[in-house]
């Protein structure tokens, strides 16, 4: 008798659940933040809303394929740490009303998890005139919700954070090596840092090259002194960079550079402050040297009032 009564009660409960479910809304699964793509290491929170009764009337289960991160819990919010790309997939929650067999499940929500995020740093130009500013732009793909950190270093100093807010773009007027990274979420998850971008500042000082002796024609083997003159740069300690006809570059600490003439071609120079390797003048107008013939020998003429070297050359 008791067993029969129990079976009848179970049948009534199941029948009640079926009838009841036909007049209620389906459960709804939502998630925050509403990003289209998540990256490994980020967090998201699912919310399972049964759309009927009180939230504590239910036991909740969250599942994705064969993975069930939450089962028969009393809270409707589920926080997930997306540690791996295998956490991509369709998630669904189900609720079981306490003290009954009444159960219903939600819609499916698709979550995509990508590899660890990496920032990208771009600049329209890497050479900026002194007094001007260049805009640097940091981004992490096309995903939303990012804030940004900026870093600068030089060849002589270690990398330091730039206190310029959390914007995705900054305007810089100082030469140096820059990079950035993004972060988002709570707790914050950081992207990998971007590649480095070097910004050079160009001074407006005019630079010119002169030669001594100022012969119009020079023979191969003769020694010539080139001088890099910086107008308006008297109060600055400069170092100098030279460009040869073979497009090679050389640096000197003095403005004078003595060479042995070998081939014809253009020589130009630019200068930079010794304490700032990321600022420089523009290249000077080229000085053309015409080198002729080949030096055979030289001797000192002792018979002239002013002793002079006399050299013999062979044209080629």
Going along the chain from its start, the domains and CATH numbers come out as 24-114 (2.60.40.10), 120-202 (2.60.40.10), 207-314 (2.60.40.10)
pLDDT averages per 10-residue partition of the chain, 316 residues: 47 46 76 94 96 92 95 96 95 96 95 94 92 94 92 92 86 94 93 96 93 89 94 88 93 94 93 88 94 70 61 63
78: which strand partners? 46
- Rounded distance between C-alpha atoms, residue 224 and residue 119, angstroms: 51
Q: What is the pLDDT of residue 14?
A: 45
103: which strand partners? 96
**CA–CA–CA angle 180, 181, 185 (5° rounding):** 150
* Reported pTM: 0.69
Tokens representing residue 277 in the block = 């390797």
Q: What is the pLDDT of residue 156?
A: 84
Alpha helices for the chain (secondary structure H):
2-21
Q: What is the largest CA-CA distance in the chain?
A: 148
- Rounded distance between C-alpha atoms, residue 180 and residue 296, angstroms: 61
The neighbour count for residue 34, using CB atoms within 10 Å, is 9
- Residue pair 155/277 in contact (Cβ under 8 Å)? The answer is yes
Q: What is the pLDDT of residue 312?
A: 65
């Amino acid at each position: 008798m008791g067993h029969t009564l129990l079976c009848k009660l179970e049948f009534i409960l199941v029948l009640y659940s079926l009838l009841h479910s036909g007049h209620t809304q389906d459960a709804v699964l939502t998630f925050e933040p509403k990003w289209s793509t998540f990256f490994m290491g980020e967090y998201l929170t699912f919310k399972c809303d049964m759309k009927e009764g009180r939230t504590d009337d239910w036991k909740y289960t969250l599942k994705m394929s064969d993975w069930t991160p939450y089962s028969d819990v009393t809270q409707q919010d589920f926080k997930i740490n997306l540690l791996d790309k295998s956490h991509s997939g369709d998630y669904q929650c189900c609720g079981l009303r306490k003290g009954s067999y009444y159960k219903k499940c939600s819609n499916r929500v698709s979550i995509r998890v990508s590899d660890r995020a990496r920032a990208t740093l771009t600049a329209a130009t890497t050479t900026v005139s002194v007094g001007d500013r260049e805009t640097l732009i940091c981004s992490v793909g096309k995903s939303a919700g990012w804030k940004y950190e900026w870093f600068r270093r030089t060849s002589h100093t270690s990398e330091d954070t730039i206190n310029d807010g959390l914007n995705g773009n900054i305007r810089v007027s100082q030469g140096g090596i820059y990079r950035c990274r993004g972060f988002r979420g709570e707790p914050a998850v950081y992207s990998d840092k971007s590649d480095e971008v070097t910004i050079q500042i160009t001074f407006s000082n005019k630079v010119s090259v002169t030669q001594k002796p100022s012969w119009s024609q020079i023979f191969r083997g003769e020694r010539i002194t080139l001088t890099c003159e910086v107008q308006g740069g008297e109060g600055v300690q400069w170092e100098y960079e030279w460009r040869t006809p073979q497009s090679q570059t050389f640096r000197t600490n003095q403005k004078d550079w003595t060479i042995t003439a070998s081939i014809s071609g253009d020589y130009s120079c630019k200068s930079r402050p010794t304490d700032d390797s990321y600022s420089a003048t523009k290249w000077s107008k080229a000085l053309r040297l015409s080198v002729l013939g080949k030096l055979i020998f030289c001797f000192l003429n002792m018979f002239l009032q002013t002793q002079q070297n006399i050299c013999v050359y062979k044209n080629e």
